Amino acid sequence: MAESSSAKKRIIKKSETVRERTEKSTAGKPKQRRLRQTAGSAVKPFKVARKLGQKSYYLPLPDNRFWKFMNKRRRVIPRFFREAFQELRLVTWPGRKETWKLTTAVFVFAIVFGIAIAITDYGLDKLFRNIILK
């Protein structure tokens, strides 16, 4: 019995860890510098902002899986909010030039309307002071 148990010893292979496998796979490759990677990823938002500033882009609302999932769940989001979000996706937003034109139109209208109210107020003030107070 003792002889048969010693003859049938198992040989257990040493398994590699994840760290050992990655070190083995990257052993021949030169290591990349992290500074370049970080600098490259830090510049990306500025590039996007520059493109948005140069051209009149509109930013479409995201078409992600979350809203598709939530729209299917009628009890989670009320119908009004689902329909409002769908309408918002259909909106075509004005460009930079059109936005400036509309903004100046609002300011001009506000100034003209304010002047008209000021003139009316001044006239009515003089009229009532002359009629009522005398």
**How is the chain split into domains, by residue range?**
59-93, 94-134
| pLDDT tens digits for range 31-88 | 666 666 666 666 666 666 666 666 555 555 556 666 666 666 556 677 788 788 888 8
pTM over 0.85: no
In whole angstroms, give the CA distance from residue 80 to residue 86: 10
What DSSP string describes 54-120?
HS----PPP--HHHHHHHH-TTTS-HHHHHHHHHHHHPPPP-HHHHHHHHHHHHHHHHHHHHHHHHH
In whole angstroms, give the CA distance from residue 17 to residue 20: 5
Q: Are 113 and 107 in contact (CB under 8 A)?
A: no
CA distances from 31 to 19, 23, 26, 27, 39 (A): 16, 11, 8, 9, 16
Question: Is it the case that residue 17 has pLDDT exceeding 90?
Answer: no
Residue with tokens 């860890």: 17
CA distances from 131 to 12, 120, 122, 123 (A): 113, 16, 14, 12
